[in-house]
Amino acid sequence: MTDRFSVPPVPRPVTDAWPRRPRLVEHSILPGLKLSLGITLVYLTLIVLLPLAALAVRPWEIGLDGVVRTLSDPRVASALRVSFGISLLAALTNAPLGLLIAWTLTRYEFPGRRILDALVDLPFALPTAVAGIALTAIYSPTGPVGAFAAQFGIKTAYSPIGIFIALVFIGLPFVVRSVQPVMQDLDKDVEEAAQTLGATDIQRVTRVVLPALAPALLSGVSLAFARAVGEYGSVIFIAGNMPLKTEIAPLLIVIKLEQYDYAGAAAIGLAMLAISFGALVAMNAVQIYLSRRGRA
C-alpha cells in the first residue's frame, strides 16, 4: 500500500503489442461508483450468493454416502429422469414449432400478425399456476382435448404426455424470441444470391437460412430446456404426481421439505443445478462450434 506522499511508481511503457490489463477500477469523472457498486454487491450477496452457499453446503452434512443414497433412491432417480428427459423432449419439440412461428412472423405480412407476435409471450405473462390448472382442464379426461384423446385410449393429463404438453407451452417463447431477431436481420442479399445462382427454395432454406440460424436456435432450445427442468407450477397440476411415473424433481424437493429432510432436499436441488449447468456448458460448446463453422 502506498500513501499519496510516496514516490509514484515508474509507469510501465505502454505498447500496443502488450495490452494493459484493466486496473481494478478505472478512473472516471462520474460519481456514484462506490454507492452503486456497494448496493449491487451487498444486495447480490444477501439475496443470491448467501442463500446459494447454504444450498451448496447443506447436503454434505449427511456425507457423500448420504447424498449418493438420496439421489439413487428409486423415487428420486426416477423424478430426475422424468424432469430432464421430458424437458429435453419438449425443448427439442419447441425447435421446429418455434422456427415455424418465427419464420411466419418475420417473413409474411398478414392480418393479425402483430397480435400473434404479442401473444407469443403469453406463457411468460401467465402465472404458472394459472397455466397449470387451465392446461389440466383442457387435457384431463373430462376436458375437450383429453376426452377426444381418450377415445383412442390415449391419456393426456396425469401422464408423461401431460408433463410434456405443459413444458412445450412454457418453452415455446424462448425459441421464438431467440430466433426471431436473427431471422429479421438475416442478410437478404445472400439469399437472393443463392436464388440467382439457381438454388431451389428448399436449398435456400436448408443451406443458407438454417445454418445462419443454428446458434440462435440452439440458444433458444437450451433456454427452454433450462426453464423446463426447474418448472413447477404449470406441471404439478397436470402431471398426476404418481411416484416412479410422473413425479418431477422439484416436487421431490417439496416432499423432502415436508418431511423436514433439509439435507435430502438440498441434495436434489444441488444435483438439479449441477446437471443443468453441465447441460448448458455442453450446449454452449456446441453453439461456439456452430457459430465458428457458420463464419468460416
Partner 1 sequence: MTAATSSEPMVRVRLPGVALVMVAVSVLVMAGLILLPLYVVFHEALLKGLPQYLEALKEPDAISAIRLTLLVAAIAVPLNAVFGVAAAWAISKFEFRGKSVLLTLIDLPFSISPVVSGLVWVLLFGAQGLFGQWLLDHDLKVIFAVPGLVLATILVTFPFVARELIPLMQQQGADEEAAALTLGASGFTTFRRVTLPNIRWALLYGVLLCNARAMGEFGAVSVVSGHIRGLTNTLPLHVEVLYNDYDSVGAFAAASLLAGLGIVTLVLKTVLEWRHSGELSAGRKH
The answer for residues whose C-beta is within 8 angstroms of residue 275's C-beta and 6 or more apart is 80, 84, 229
Name the minimum Å distance from CB 160 to partner 1. 17
Nearer to partner 1, 7 or 22 (CB): 22
Name the minimum Å distance from CB 74 to partner 1. 21
Nearer to partner 1, 116 or 244 (CB): 116
Name the minimum Å distance from CB 31 to partner 1. 4
C-alpha span between 236 and 250 (Å, rounded): 9
Which residue from 178, 185, 189, 186 is spatially nearest to 215, judged by alpha carbons? 178
Q: What angle do CA 166, 95, 236 make, to 5 degrees?
A: 15
Instruction: Report how far apart, in Å, the C-alpha atoms of 262 and of each of 74, 81, 175, 249, 253 are.
Output: 19, 22, 35, 15, 9
Nearer to partner 1, 190 or 293 (CB): 190
C-alpha span between 232 and 167 (Å, rounded): 10
Q: What angle do CA 91, 95, 97 make, to 5 degrees?
A: 110
Which residue from 96, 83, 62 is spatially nearest to 241, judged by alpha carbons? 83
Name the minimum Å distance from CB 156 to partner 1. 13
List the grid coordinates of 55: 444450498
Nearer to partner 1, 5 or 191 (CB): 191
Nearer to partner 1, 148 or 289 (CB): 148
Find the radius of gyration of the CA atoms of the chain. 25
Name the minimum Å distance from CB 251 to partner 1. 8
Name the minimum Å distance from CB 282 to partner 1. 14
CB neighbourhood size of 65 (10 A) = 8
Nearer to partner 1, 52 or 293 (CB): 52
C-alpha span between 11 and 135 (Å, rounded): 67
Name the minimum Å distance from CB 41 to partner 1. 8
Nearer to partner 1, 32 or 243 (CB): 32
Q: Which helix (H) or strand (E) holds 210?
A: helix 210-230
C-alpha span between 244 and 83 (Å, rounded): 12
